[in-house]
Amino acid sequence: MERTLAIIKPDAVERNLVGEIIKRIEAAGLRLCALRIKHLTRREAERFYEVHQERPFFKSLCDYMTSGPIVIAVLGGDNAIKRWRELMGATDPAKAAPGTIRNDFGLDVEKNASHGSDAPETAAREVAFFFSAVDLVD
């Protein structure tokens, strides 16, 4: 079984889309291994997205990710990383396939409703960023 980190971003929490997005996760057969709600501090957002710190959108991204509460989940299952990214769709909602979370609910390339880890190494780092081993169910 593989694990990945999923975030329901502030724009989606604000619009009461948490239940709808978790419904899609469960319908796809991914398991919830951990779940919490949190309002990120500036420092936490900057550390979480440090790989993007040289990008022109970094400050705006951190402003946005600290603008309201987020829901953070660890998802488990065979191929969970790829399957969750497929459910989300492409980064830019305008380019995401119909029926994906970002196409259905994303507002723009920044306010794109959800986050998913992109590889096993980043998934391990991102899960450990928010959760301890004792927080995770198998």
- A 10 A CB-CB count for 20 gives 14
- Tell me whether residue 31 or residue 125 sits nearer to Mg ion (CB atom): 125
In the chain, which ranges are E strands?
Answer: 2-8, 31-38, 70-77, 114-116
52 catalytic, yes or no?
A: no
Furthest-apart CA atoms within the chain: distance in Å: 39
Binding site for ligand DAT (CB under 6 A): 52, 57, 61, 91, 109-110, 112, 115, 118
Look-up: residue for tokens 């502030």? 10
String marking each residue 93-132 x if it binds Mg ion according to CB under 5 A: -------------------------x--------------
Which of Mg ion, ligand DAT, none is residue 102 near (CB under 5 to 8 Å by kind)?
none
